[in-house]
Amino acid sequence: MIPNQRTRHTLHRLGNLTTAARDAAWARVENAEALKQRAIHARDRVLADLPANLEQLEKAARSHDVNVLHANDAQDANRLIIQTMRELGVTDALRNHHPLLDEIQVDRAAKANAIQLTPLHPGDYLAQLANERPGHPIWPVGHLTVEAISATLQKKWRIPETYNPDHLASTVRMPLRRALLRTHTAILGVDFASVEDGVFVLMDNDGHNASLTGLARHVILLLSIEQVAATLNDLDALIQVFALSAWGRPLPAYVTHLQCPAPPEIDGPRTIHLVLVDNHRTDIMDQGFGRALRCIQCGACHTVCPVYEQIGGGGYANSPYTGPIGAVISPLLLRSDLGEPQAYLCANSGHCQAACPMNIPIPDLIHAQRRRLAKTRPPKEDKRYFSIWRRLISRPRLFFPFIRRNLEK
Ligand code: SF4
């Protein structure tokens, strides 16, 4: 669906603000290119022999009393989460903001199994209230206007009409604070892990991960298999590059390190369970798209993309991986009806590659993805779509009202 003009204006503003913050932050880094190269090398180094690195991570994690589980796909990951929760005897949990949790659709799986799963990030919570999916890896509701947020809260909670952003933010936070104080179990997407030490890193700017790992008695960590680094030193480069490109800051405000369950005398989880999620990432490498797995989900390529600016995250067929990198990986990660159309949401501007700190050749990979899909799709289907398009475009009386109706909403 094409967003209305007000939402497109919001997306445009989001793009300008985040790009300016990112450019200014990178400009202050001495030897920025060397830092990017360190991060790229850190990722390429583990991808070159991922099975051996994962084996080492598993060994390190087990030596710290972490219960390690393996999920081949999203269904598997959800099954392991639900099974672990049943074994722990818990029926509710809080989750952090992480694209991997959206990728496996953990909220849906929890609901189907009568588990109450609440997102602690106000953006995710708002998206849930507004019946939307997060549209950006860092700014999940960056596309929503203050008016839309206010309307959602007025409708759901009957709050008095207000357009004060601070008031709206504290209104959303209030029930989440209460839920946090009650929580026993946290389901957390992990940003990075260090293979050598079995350390899991979670980053944010509001302290949600630190609160969750401090208060929850049981923690279920989800890690996608490529988000690993060989050493803590390698992790350091990835953390800095992420913070600079995602938030325009030299470092995240909070970096939570988790290695082992806490002893009874101090705060922290009593049990830690780790689910290592493949979900077609091995296929991505086998099919020659391995460089896409350098992605650290900083979202920088999204806000510079002219297509994303027009259609927002909602235009990407409800995929959790939106924007230019979504066009590369969604066709390989998701069911074909959800993922494949994304490969065609690209206008060849090349801005994404320039913005990507991990130097992923996104335009080349999108072209390669289209070539791969063209080989797999029956040519008849293409012919049918082109014939519909030809008929529509050659009849201005049909074509222009259709475009106007969508653009002027
Ligand atoms: S492709 Fe690059 S810019 Fe885009 S989210 Fe991944 S790391 Fe960030």
* CATH label of the domain that carries residue 249: 3.40.50.10420
Residue having the nearest C-alpha atom to atom 2 of ligand 1: 356
- CA of 374 from ligand 1 middle (Å) equals 25
Q: Give 337's pLDDT tier (boundaries 50, 70, 90).
A: low
Average pLDDT, the chain: 91
Which residue has the CA at smallest separation from atom 6 of ligand 1? 295
Which of 259, 281, 303 is at the close of a domain? 281
Mean pLDDT over 176-198 rounds to 95
Domain end (from 281, 300, 333): 281
More confident residue, 135 or 69: 69
**CB-ligand 1 contact for 301 (6 Å cutoff):** yes
**Tokens 């060994």, residue?**
59
**Cα dihedral across residues 378, 104, 201, 220: positive or negative:** negative
Closest C-alpha to ligand 1, atom 7: 295
384 and 243 in a common domain: no
Using the atom order of ligand 1, give the atom closest to the CA of residue 362. 1
pTM of the model: 0.89
400 and 274 in a single domain? The answer is no
**pLDDT over 90 (residue 2):** no
Q: Is the dihedral of CA 25, 28, 33, 36 positive or negative?
A: negative
**Are 386 and 251 part of one and the same domain?**
no
Mean pLDDT to the nearest integer, 281-305? 94
| Averaged pLDDT for residues 47-71 | 97
Confidence bin at 401 (pLDDT 50/70/90) = confident
Query: Could you tell me which residues come within 8 angstroms of residue 195 by beta carbon, excluding any fewer than 6 positions away?
Result: 46, 53, 54, 56, 57, 60, 228, 229, 230, 231
Pair 266, 397 in one domain:
no
* Type of residue found at 253: A
Q: Is the CB of 299 under 6 A from ligand 1?
A: yes
User: What is the whole-number distance in angstroms between the Cα of residue 402 and the centre of ligand 1?
Assistant: 34
Domain that holds residue 396: 380-409
User: Which contacts qualify for 347-352: CB closer than 8 Å, 24 or more apart?
Assistant: 347/306, 347/307, 349/305, 349/306, 351/301, 351/304, 351/305, 351/306, 352/301, 352/304, 352/305, 352/323, 352/324, 352/325
Domain-located, residue 46: yes
Ligand 1 centroid to residue 27 C-alpha, Å: 18
Closest CA to ligand 1's atom 3 = 356
Q: Examine the domain organization and report whether 263 and 400 are in the same domain.
A: no
User: Is the C-beta atom of 39 inside 6 A of ligand 1?
Assistant: no
- Which pLDDT value is given to residue 332? 86
Count of the separate structural domains present in the chain: 2
Contacts of 27 (CB under 8 A, 6+ apart): none
pLDDT at 379: 56
Report which ligand 1 atom has the smallest distance to the Cα of 294: 7
Residue 43 covered by a domain: yes
Percent of the chain at pLDDT > 70 equals: 94
Taking the centre of ligand 1 as the mean of its atom positions, its distance from the CA of residue 77, in whole angstroms, is 24
Residues 220-234, mean pLDDT to the nearest whole number? 97
Backbone angles phi, psi at 3, to 5 degrees: -70, 160
> Has residue 98 been placed in a domain?
yes
Q: Please give the pLDDT value at position 408.
A: 53
pLDDT higher than 80, residue 90: yes
Least confidently predicted of 3-12, 85-94, 389-398? 389-398
pLDDT surpassing 60 at residue 306: yes
Report the pLDDT value the prediction gives residue 407, as an integer from 0 to 100: 57
296 CA closest ligand 1 atom index: 7
Last residue of a domain, one of 281, 307, 330: 281
Q: At what angle do helices 362-376 and 323-333 cross, to 10 degrees?
A: 30
pLDDT of residue 7: 85
**406 and 267 part of one domain:** no
> Same domain for 395 and 268?
no
Distance 325 CA to ligand 1 centre (A): 6
Which of 58-67, 162-171, 294-303 comes out lowest in average pLDDT? 162-171
Residue 22 domain-assigned (yes or no): yes
Q: Answer yes or no: is 400 within a domain.
A: yes
Ligand 1 touching residue 300 (CB < 6 A): yes
Q: At 78, is the pLDDT very low, low, confident or very high (cuts 50, 70, 90)?
A: very high
Mutate to test the pocket of ligand 1, among 304, 325, 333, 353 (most ligand atoms within 8 A of CB): 325
Residue among 316, 351, 358, 369 to mutate when testing ligand 1 (max atoms within 8 A of CB): 358
Tens digits of per-residue pLDDT, 92-121? 999 999 999 999 999 999 999 999 999 999
Domain presence at residue 316: no
The Å distance, Cα 251 to ligand 1 centre, comes to 17
Ligand 1 close to Cβ of residue 228 (< 6 A): no
CA-closest residue to ligand 1 atom 4: 301
- Helix H or strand E segment including 69: strand 66-71
Mutate to test the pocket of ligand 1, among 240, 291, 297, 369 (most ligand atoms within 8 A of CB): 297
